[in-house]
Amino acid sequence: MSPHAYTVRRSDRARRARLSVGRAGEVVVVLPRRMPAAEAERLVHQHAGWLDRHVARVSEQRAVLAARPALGEGRLLHLAGEPCRVSAVDAGRGRPARGRVEAIPGGLLVRLGRDGRGTSQLLEAWLRARAREAVAAQVAVRAPQVAVRPGRISIRDQSSRWASASSSGDLSFSWRLLLTPPFVLDAVVVHELAHLRLRGHTRAFWLLVEQHAPRTPEARRWLREHAAEVRAALV
């Protein structure tokens, strides 16, 4: 009997068996299409200690998230490393036509409007706009240092990555990077700019990245440890 319940997923692209723990604490084993199913059981047993630690960490994270105040009732966000408490007000029949977000000392005030957008929608739109400004400013500073000329910059909400660079030079960043410390945003920007010179994650690539952003290893750890918190910030 396996120490952990798990789900097996078959993949035509996988070259070896892979083990992961999802955001809800679920254990998934990815197997190449023709690999025997018994390999999943062996892998789960072999890495039982690793699974124990990661499932426990996910459970702790979920407990912390569940204990947060509701969004708009004092939940704390960190914008570019600065604590920011979110409050929402509903004027009832006196609502303005359009909801809006206002920066106030120590936080953000969400004024709900008659347009039907809730606190989360209004906040996301406001944060996306601030993220665009922050990312564009950092790219403008870093691109000449890395000796590249990027193309279009887009702000999205990728579910599986924080940023990406296309072969044509366009860059895409998650707006949620605004919820990370400045050194993390900087490391991600440098990472994507470096891809405009070197496409793969080779030794030369990492040397280039860390030459310009020496805190990259720390930034990568921060993103791994705080991913759940950042992705659930407005939930």
What's residue 91's pLDDT?
Answer: 85
The burial of 173, by beta-carbon neighbours within 10 Å (0-12 exposed, 13-18 middle, 19 or more buried), is given as buried
Residue 2 lies in a domain: no
Would you say the C-alpha torsion 177, 181, 183, 184 has a positive or negative sign?
negative
Looking only at the bridges linking them, the beta strands covering 163-165 and 100-104 are unpaired
Looking only at the bridges linking them, the beta strands covering 171-174 and 163-165 are antiparallel
What's residue 92's pLDDT?
Answer: 87
Residue 60 lies in a domain: yes
Do 108 and 195 have their domain in common?
no
Give the span between the Cα atoms of 139 and 36, in whole angstroms: 47
Give the span between the Cα atoms of 195 and 192, in whole angstroms: 5
- Which residue from 91, 21, 96, 86 is spatially nearest to 56, judged by alpha carbons? 21
Q: What is the pTM of this model?
A: 0.83
Which of 66, 84, 106 delimits the end of a domain?
A: 66
Q: Going residue by residue through the chain (235 aa), what tens digit of pLDDT does each one get?
A: 457 889 999 999 899 999 999 888 899 999 999 999 999 999 999 999 999 998 998 888 889 899 999 999 999 999 999 999 999 999 888 899 999 999 999 899 999 999 999 999 999 999 999 999 999 999 999 999 999 999 999 999 987 899 999 999 999 999 999 999 999 999 999 999 999 999 999 999 999 999 999 999 999 999 999 998 999 999 9
Q: What are phi and psi of 185, to 5 degrees?
A: -55, -45
Give the span between the Cα atoms of 220 and 130, in whole angstroms: 22
Do 144 and 208 have their domain in common?
yes
- State which residues form the domain around 31: 7-66
Residue 77 lies in a domain: yes
Token couple for 232? 């659930």
Domain count, the chain: 3
Give the span between the Cα atoms of 55 and 27, in whole angstroms: 8
Do 20 and 91 have their domain in common?
no
What's residue 1's pLDDT?
Answer: 46
Residue 1 lies in a domain: no
Do 221 and 203 have their domain in common?
yes
Token couple for 145? 């240092």
CATH number of the structural domain spanning residue 185 = 3.30.2010.10
Do 49 and 97 have their domain in common?
no
What's residue 121's pLDDT?
Answer: 97
What's residue 88's pLDDT?
Answer: 97
Residue 26 lies in a domain: yes
Do 135 and 184 have their domain in common?
yes
Do 134 and 62 have their domain in common?
no
Do 223 and 156 have their domain in common?
yes
Do 96 and 140 have their domain in common?
no
What's residue 89's pLDDT?
Answer: 96
Do 33 and 101 have their domain in common?
no
Give the span between the Cα atoms of 79 and 224, in whole angstroms: 18
What's residue 2's pLDDT?
Answer: 57
